[in-house]
Amino acid sequence: MKKVCFITGSRADYGLLINLIKIIKKNKKFTSSIIVTGSHLSAKHGLTYKEILKDNFTINAKVKLNIVGDKSIDINNYISRAVKNISTELKKIKPNLVILLGDRYEIFAAGIASFIHDIPICHLHGGEVTSGSKDDIYRHCLTKMSSIHFVSNIEYRKRVIQLGENPKNIFVVGGFGVDLIKNTPLLTKKKIEKNLNFKFKDKNLLVVYHPENSNKKNIIYSFNQILKCLTKLKDTQIIFTNANSDINGNIINKMINSFVKSNYQRAINFTSMGQQNYLSTLNVVDAILGNSSSGILEAPSLKIPTINVGDRQNGRLKAKSVLDVPPNSRIILKAIKKIYSRKFKNILREIKNPYDKGDASINAHNILKKINFKKKKKKKFYDLAI
């Protein structure tokens, strides 16, 4: 019996793991457990662990980080708590393999705990680059701690090899965000309006913005440029989802709250919409605006334009539906006008998502079935030919 442990720290990574968890749970040759940590257990971020329970999954352990502040000292404290307490839970569960997705600091902590326990790690979505955020470094560190790699594109496989990983252990399975879309029944606009208690109109935008690798002053300036642009769009409904628990995330959330309060007739915000509501909303809006990975990884599969502001997603492969713009209200407004043009709408019809390589979760499961991860191998640095 193969004992697999999934560790999830936020609504973002959990959404991409759902289908793989379901498939593995159905396989009688696997036993699986789930450790929940990070913003899942934060009231301020929507207590999203409840979504896991709604999906009829058992949570085997909750590792609370007591997320309140968003300063660098706070993040360091959360990481140290996560390493210590996830380590304790892993000692109890004794998995043969830990599955981690992405690049968050709490997942980085889970990687440290697993690695020191000599538990093999399977890492999902490695090899990607987001040079505008600290997540970039967490992701590459997780790659170095992992033994099995499921990447979303051939270009990312090359980068994982470049990081010194053996090509035999790197598998291109596709993007797990695309997988989520394919396996989520999307709601009608009428049903979404009822769930969100919000009325769509002729023009609608979804805004998701997270902190970049920048100081407080620059973050305020950049997000203010977005809000300044939105203020000019009098005929447009705005749906915000709050920023994550990164450094300076609280600042963005306060700015969102202030904007919504002043524009309550056409704007609304959510700490967490839930996966089905979020993807269904993404499917009916005119564009996603901000710097979320969702605009890069998932929106193209729905033929929805992305207005990607700033540097956070710099380095990622992008479909032609993604418009990169600086944090400048005039240029952002110009991009918004562009998505409504007939020419751009024609481009959208032919969009191909570089992360759509088939059924990622099924592909990953089929590979895991063949791997004997009970047999521990000493990891070696794979040198490229010079």
Whole-angstrom distance, CA of residue 314 vs CA of residue 270: 26
What is the per-residue pLDDT for 386?
57
**Whether the Cβ atoms of residue 323 and residue 300 lie closer than 8 Å to each other:** no
What type of residue sits at position 338? Answer: K
Q: Average pLDDT for consecutive 10-residue bins of the chain (386 residues)?
A: 95 94 96 96 92 96 93 94 98 97 96 97 96 92 97 97 96 95 95 96 96 86 96 94 88 96 95 93 98 95 97 94 97 97 94 92 96 79 81
269 φ, ψ to 5°?
A: -135, 155
* Cα separations in angstroms, 257 against 208, 263, 264, 269, 283: 13, 10, 10, 7, 24
DSSP class of residue 69 equals: -
The Cβ-side half-sphere exposure at 40, using a 13 Å CA radius, reads 28
Among residues 315, 16, 379, which one has the least CA distance to residue 179? 16
Q: How many residues are present in the chain?
A: 386
Query: What is the signed CA dihedral for 245, 250, 252, 257, rounded to 10 degrees?
Result: 120
Task: Phi first, then psi: give them for residue 45, nearest 5 degrees.
Answer: -110, 15
Q: What is the DSSP letter of 301?
A: G
CA–CA gap between residue 82 and residue 108 (Å, rounded): 9
Do 2-175+357-370 and 189-349 agree at the fold level? Answer: yes
Q: Which residue, chain included where needed, has tokens 């979504």?
A: 51
Q: What kind of architecture, by CATH, is found in domain 2-175+357-370?
A: 3-Layer(aba) Sandwich (3.40)
Encoded tokens for 152: 């979303």
Strand stretches in 9-55, DSSP E: 30-37
Q: What is the pLDDT of residue 357?
A: 85
Tokens of 40: 């899942």
What secondary structure does DSSP assign to 229-277, as a single string? HHHH-TTEEEEEE---SSTTHHHHHHHHHHHHHHTTTTEEEES---HHH
Closest by Cα among 219, 213, 271, 248 to 74: 248
Of the candidates 54, 316, 298, the one whose C-alpha atom is nearest the C-alpha of residue 180 is 298
Residue pointed to by tokens 């009098």: 234
CA distance 147 to 142: 10
Fold of 189-349: Rossmann fold (3.40.50)
Taking Cα atoms as reference points, which of 299, 266, 297 lies closest to residue 283? 299
Cα 102 from Cα 135, distance rounded (Å): 8
Instruction: List the beta strands (DSSP E) in the chain.
Output: 2-8, 30-37, 61-63, 97-101, 121-124, 148-151, 170-172, 203-208, 236-241, 267-270, 287-290, 306-309, 322-325
- Taking the C-alpha atoms of residue 300 and residue 348, their distance in angstroms, rounded to an integer, is 8
| Token representation of residue 374 | 């009970």
CA distance 45 to 36: 14
Note the pLDDT of residue 122: 97
DSSP code for 377 = -
Nearest CA to 162 out of 140, 145, 146 is that of 140
pLDDT of residue 212: 86
Query: In the numeric block, which tokens belong to residue 289?
Result: 């605006």
Segments making up each domain of the chain, as ranges: 2-175+357-370, 189-349
Instruction: Return the SS3 of 342.
Output: helix
